[in-house]
Amino acid sequence: MPVVEVENVTRVYEERGQAPAAALRGVSLSVEKGEFMALAGPSGSGKTTLLNLIGGLDAATSGVIKIDGKALGGLSRSQLSDLRRDRIGFVFQAYNLVPVLTAAENAAYVLELKGLGAAERRAKVKKVFERIGLGAHLDSRPLKMSGGQQQRVAVARAIVSEPAVVLADEPTANLDQATGAALMDLMRELNREQGITFIFSTHDPMVLERADRVVRLVDGQVVGHAPAPR
């Protein structure tokens, strides 16, 4: 069974006084467990909208989205929240770290939501931080860290609960080329070693060349599936 299934999904936004705007139009795709997949396309092509729908952060106007065989549209608000907590990790372009919390506390937040005790949370986060080269920064505040370090904290937060799939929106957009390449190589290692499924939205060639498969979107429609360029 695919980890993610998207079946004929449309997302239309309507604002008072304006004509309806279709961000996605009849999109269908499936993502297998362990894939390292990129959504490519120009700005406004629907990449971020599709990630938000897969992650249950937004609802489709029509069509069906399934995670682990469960249709998101059939879940209650609390069930959807539980699914996001337990099965989906998010890496946002702007990091979305809480500045008053330490790096470890930011990464452990989802574990706290799952009811893990403080000692167990700390142990799990420490293990992940050591794996991604942040072992000395457990108690650092985000604003005292570089952009690359903050993005690594965001990755740690996304993977510490061992989700089925990690969704990353333009993960290299705010990083220099060397830092971005190092981050992508790290996520590729995590994908291979732990079998975590990754879906990226990007227009960065460096990200695309590391993907197993590239799904191209133009004007809210899938225009092609292809192995990544080598």
Can you give the CATH number for the domain in which 110 is found? Answer: 3.40.50.300
Residue 228: the pLDDT is: 56
Residue 49: the pLDDT is: 95
Report the domain count for the chain: 1
Confidence of residue 176 (pLDDT cuts 50, 70, 90): confident
DSSP strand pairing (36-40 vs 88-91)? unpaired
Q: What is the pLDDT of residues 66-122, one digit of tens each?
A: 999 999 998 999 999 999 989 999 988 788 899 999 999 999 999 998 899 999 999
The DSSP letter of residue 76 is: -
Residue 197: the pLDDT is: 95
Residue 88: the pLDDT is: 93
Residue 8: the pLDDT is: 97
Q: How far apart are CA 225 and CA 206, in angstroms?
A: 18
* Mean confidence (pLDDT) of the chain: 91
Q: How far apart are CA 192 and CA 100, in angstroms?
A: 34
For the entire predicted model, the pTM comes to: 0.89
List, as own/partner pairs, every contact residues 78-81 make where C-beta atoms lie below 8 angstroms and the sequence separation is at least 24, other chains included.
Answer: 80/56
Q: How far apart are CA 181 and CA 166, in angstroms?
A: 18
Range(s) of the domain holding residue 140? 4-227
